[in-house]
Structure 1
Amino acid sequence: MKKLLFPILLGGSFGLLPMLSTAQTQSRGEVQDQEFVIRKDRVLTLPAQPRIFEKLPVLPQPKGLTDFNYMVSRYNLNLQPLQLAATPAQKNYQAPRMDLYPGFIRAGYGNFVSPLLEVRYMGTQVEDFNYSVQLNHQSFGQGPVLAEQSKESHTNLGVDGSYFADLFEVYGGLKWKQDSYQFYGFDTTLASNMDIDLTQIPGNVLNTVEVKAGIREIEKVGPFYYEGELSFRNFKDSYLAVENEFGIKGSGKFRANEDWSGKVDLDFYSTSPEDFNYAETRTYFGIKPTVSYNYGEFNFTAGLNVVSENDSIADKSSNLRVFPVLKASYQFAPEFGFYGSFTGDVNRNTYYSFVMENPFLGPTNRLLNTVNNYKIQAGIEGQFQESFHYRAGIDVSRYNQLYFFVNNYRIKVIDFSDEERFNLVYDDKVAVFNINAELGFKMSDIYTLGSRLDLYQYDLNQQAEAWHRPTWEFRVNNQVTPIERLIVQANLNFMGGIKARGASLGVEIGGPETYQVVKLKSIADLQLKADYGITERISIFAEGNNLLNGQNTRWLNYPVRGIQLVGGASFKF
């Protein structure tokens, strides 16, 4: 208690001093009464201090880093080098299972007495030597005119084989083909008053045997690629036409880097055709070097077509011809680009190629190649929405010895069957103007479409018309896979503006012989094909041609069959 009283008295003394000094200033020497209250029960307390205001503890200061020096001593040990022996890892890798069937057979039957047979067999084992055998046959026992008088048949049998070495492949093959046709394209307006049994008019059987052997490099992506082939073909018909051909074909490609590449093609053919009043040996030799350069989206190709051929043509200065090859394209964007070219070449023609185009060709006394003096092409192309692609262009070409097929009306009185056969005529100077457009569409694997339109205009020098050549063509091809294992194809083919040469109208004095011009109807052909796989091995199919039942006539007096239906099944073994 005494300890507490002393601080209180001391504090009160200090508090009294200002009061006394004030009183002295008010009235010096005056004494006033004062009252002091002392409370003994009062407790003084202080608020708790928050820890946030506590000072940080003082941490010890780190000592400075010092350099450490190590002494390394070398010890040379005479040890043998370590021998590492590689051992293969034993692991079973299961390759994906693929059911490969070496054999395939397809058979069917349709109207017009039309059996169909296709047989294929090939080696499926991974070996150095591989082979394949194929047989195809389709015939029509009846046709659009006099049933059996317009029948036809097609058969071919082929064998191919390949031997694979480490760097190259040696291949070869043998093929036999037979095509049989009846001459039924008579003019009923001229034959109506003639007492002729048309069923006795003979047909024509075309037999072809082809042999080939060659070598080519297996790796096609290296800096150099080569291939070469030897071939021989024998062709003859039921009359006197025979043609033998021996050919050598080679090609070499080199790639200096990703931008520069080059190519050299070599072709040599010796053909010996014989006919009723025609026999000659024709040779063709061509060297075609080109160099290509790619710079981004720009592509450029330059080269030459050097061709030597010995066809006999009036006022021919030389057998050697040289044509430039210039091609360029630039793709501004995937949606749009342009292309252009200026080229020339000699298009090789043989009696075999003519008959494959028009099987009703008769005897001929002149076979000529077609000289394409120049061909100028320009157009645009591109794709959009990653599904559509398009192409449109204009072509201007100049030809010498462009060929046409015309009916042989001249000797119909001597031999009526000659009226049904065609002959070859040529024009020495022809300019062809062509406008073309293509459009394609693909929707995954479900639907694909391809279409093309061509418009032609001919500027002739000797012939009155471009006989049997269309002035317009339009083609649409569709393929649909609506469900698994079902494939449906729908094709549309249109062709028009065809003019044929009719009977002779006589020869004007001092002028050429004139002929009747026959305008053929436009051709419209709808084709449908469907194939459904019942199992992995068995499937069924159905085909329909000329479903519009059009009276289509590609060659004068030769209407085609009406609606053709074929159905059947196929089997893998």
Structure 2
Amino acid sequence: MNKNFLIAGALLLTVGAAAQDSTKKREVNVTSTFKPELKEAAKIKFNAAPPVADTSRPRLNYAIPNQNLNLAFLPGSLKPMALTVDTGGRFAMANYIKAGFGNLSTPFLQAGISLGDGKTNGVNFYGKHVSSKGKIPYQKFGYTDFDVAGFFQNSSNGEWSGRLGTVLERYNKYGFQPDTLKFPEDSIKVQYRTVRGRIAYRNLSPTAWGLLYAPELKVDVFSDGLSNTESNTWLHVPVSKIFTEQFSAKVALEASLGRYKPENRDAIANNYFLLAPSLIFQKNGVVINAGVKPSWDNGSFHLLPNIHAEFGTAQKTVAVQAGWIGSYRNSGYQYLAGFNPWIWAPDSVYNTRITDAYAGAKGSIGSHFTYGVCIGSAKLHNQPLFVNDTASGKSFRVTNESSLNNTYISGEMGYTYGERVSFNSSLRINRFSKLEEHDKAFGLLPLEFTSRLRIQVMKDLYVTSDLFAFDGARYLTKGGDDRTQKGAVDLSAGMEFGVAKNIKVWAQFNNIFNKQYQRWNQYPVYGLNFLGGVVFSLAQNSNK
């Protein structure tokens, strides 16, 4: 029975399927709650919080070099007829003409022209003329010079420099006694002329091998207008080699070739040659130079020392110095006439050999004040001395002292404040002893003091002052008596101020104390004298 029911159900299902409508379209319906959306784009936030400030103070170490001048130990020599005309301070114009006149019939003219950029090349033309006529008969003085100097840097790390010029000096030998004596004017007239030239080259930075070199050649031709002539050629070739920051070496060749031709006499050769090798060590304020100088003075060999050392702090506040150094000075006719213009032409000329042993200290206090003291002993061979002739005393005989000692003490101090204030003073005390041919060092000063002050009071106002003082030198009278000149103090002052855009007015007063002192026996200098004039600027310096 059950079997029958199953068969009947299957038949019914089959019939129902066959009875469906096959034309009906088939569809599928899907229902879902998902809604698609795009992701939000990232945006810049303009209200971001600033970083936290760093309030810690960094530790910065600066090594600023001392900007003050490094003054030399030796003071400048006092000129016998000082007529120093100063511009009254730093002059900022590149091209100018300075003209003036003084009470001693003193015309003054000075001019300078500069061309080039002043950094890689430049040419300077410079000229000056000044003359005076004193109250004493035949007391006349004249000085004229002209120079052309230039430099240029090439593309191979080098710089050439040179100079060519001439100097004409005119004097009268007015220091004769008694003053009633009469001389032809041509017998008392002195006229020195110098034609000079110089050429030099140096490399601006060390080569790939650490070499620095700076050869220099100078030639002077000197004459006195009386058929006495002299030519001097000086060559200096220094070469240094840098090994490390502490060690270096230096070799210098120096040669001086002099030829003096007196009137109606044979020429005299005056030459010296020297070679100066040395090793240099420097570290933390310590500088040591150790070397020697083999030399030949007119064929005679001498081994000179070349040792000096400096021990100081890295900031240069104080440094102790010591040394033993030898050198030469060409004491020919040109040098002698520059030291004392009232000399007879010398019979012979020499090279002065100097060996100097010294010790001292130098340094600075703050950023404006510098100082230096030194004590030493120098041995001089072939030192010229000056003695009045026995006729009228108007001329000086040059005598040679083969050997003498000079024990000296020197001191210096200086103060600078930018370009507004500049002050420096130097003092040197000499004691001459152990002379072989003479009793005293005739004509040499036992004490010299110089002081110089420059102040920029306002933008266009400069004030200057110079003070010279000395203790008198030894001299001989006609009768052969040994005497000492009186000392003297010479003060001068000047000023310069602007009155228009390119015009300045200047004035200078010399020998303000009006002292008739004598640097050389029987030759009193000018009394109080003053000059004044104007300065015209032709073009403003392009670097200003």
Q: Which TM-score tier does this pair reach, normalised by the shorter chain? A: 0.7 to 0.9
Aligned residue for 1:51? none
Partners of 2:385 and 2:206 in 1: CA distance: 40
SS in 2 for 1:465: coil
Greater relative contact order (Cα < 8 A, sep 6+): 2
The answer on 1:382 being equivalent to 2:359 is no
Pick closer, same or farther for the CA change 1:301–1:429 going to 2, 3 Å: same
SS in 1 for 2:334: helix
Aligned residue for 2:83? none
Cα deviations by residue, 1:492-534 (Å, 9 ceiling, x for unpaired): 1100131112224xxxxxxxxxx21232111211011212233
Aligned residue for 1:462? 437
Aligned residue for 1:83? none
Partners of 2:418 and 2:232 in 1: CA distance: 45
Letter in 2 for 1:562: G
Aligned residue for 2:401? 427
Query: Normalising by the residue count of structure 2, what TM-score does the alignment of the two structures yield?
Result: 0.76
Aligned residue for 2:82? none
Equivalent positions of 1:346-357 (< 5 A) are: 346-357=328-339
8 Å Cα contact 2:158/2:203 also seen in 1: yes
Letter in 2 for 1:359: P
Pick closer, same or farther for the CA change 1:488–1:262 going to 2, 3 Å: farther
8 Å Cα contact 2:495/2:508 also seen in 1: yes
The answer on 1:527 being equivalent to 2:492 is yes
Partners of 1:517 and 1:143 in 2: CA distance: 29
Cα deviations by residue, 1:308-332 (Å, 9 ceiling, x for unpaired): 121xxxxxxx612111211112125
Letter in 2 for 1:236: S
Aligned residue for 2:191? 205
Aligned residue for 1:339? 321
**Partner of residue 303 from structure 1, selected from 271, 274, 291:** 291
Letter in 1 for 2:472: G
Pick closer, same or farther for the CA change 1:169–1:501 going to 2, 3 Å: same
The answer on 1:177 being equivalent to 2:167 is yes
SS in 2 for 1:482: strand
Aligned residue for 1:114? 106
Cα deviations by residue, 1:164-213 (Å, 9 ceiling, x for unpaired): 3112223333211111111101122xx55x5x357675311111111233
**Partner of residue 246 from structure 1, selected from 216, 227, 233:** 233
- How far residue 362 of structure 1 moved from its aligned partner, in angstroms, is 0.9
- How far residue 229 of structure 1 moved from its aligned partner, in angstroms, is 2.8
**Partner of residue 469 from structure 2, selected from 489, 494, 499:** 494
SS in 2 for 1:401: strand
Aligned residue for 1:537? 502
**Partner of residue 124 from structure 2, selected from 111, 117, 132:** 132
Aligned residue for 1:16? none
- How far residue 341 of structure 1 moved from its aligned partner, in angstroms, is 0.7
Query: Normalising by the residue count of structure 1, what TM-score does the alignment of the two structures yield?
Result: 0.73
The answer on 1:262 being equivalent to 2:243 is no
The answer on 1:159 being equivalent to 2:115 is no
Cα deviations by residue, 1:405-439 (Å, 9 ceiling, x for unpaired): 11121xx2xxx6xx311121122221111011222
Letter in 2 for 1:213: I
The answer on 1:227 being equivalent to 2:214 is yes
- How far residue 134 of structure 1 moved from its aligned partner, in angstroms, is 1.4
8 Å Cα contact 2:343/2:396 also seen in 1: yes
8 Å Cα contact 1:175/1:210 also seen in 2: yes
Aligned residue for 1:512? none
Pick closer, same or farther for the CA change 1:363–1:378 going to 2, 3 Å: same
8 Å Cα contact 2:256/2:330 also seen in 1: no
Partners of 2:119 and 2:488 in 1: CA distance: 49
Cα deviations by residue, 1:242-270 (Å, 9 ceiling, x for unpaired): 11223332222232222222322222222
Letter in 1 for 2:162: G
SS in 1 for 2:336: helix
Partners of 1:103 and 1:269 in 2: CA distance: 36
Letter in 2 for 1:502: T
- How far residue 306 of structure 1 moved from its aligned partner, in angstroms, is 2.1
8 Å Cα contact 1:334/1:384 also seen in 2: no
Pick closer, same or farther for the CA change 1:144–1:303 going to 2, 3 Å: farther
8 Å Cα contact 2:270/2:351 also seen in 1: no
Unmatched runs of 5 consecutive residues or more in structure 2: 1-90, 539-544
| Aligned structure 1 segments of 4 or more residues deviating by more than 6 angstroms | none
Letter in 1 for 2:469: F
Equivalent positions of 1:62-81 (< 5 A) are: none
Once superposed, what is the RMSD of the aligned Cα atoms? 2.4
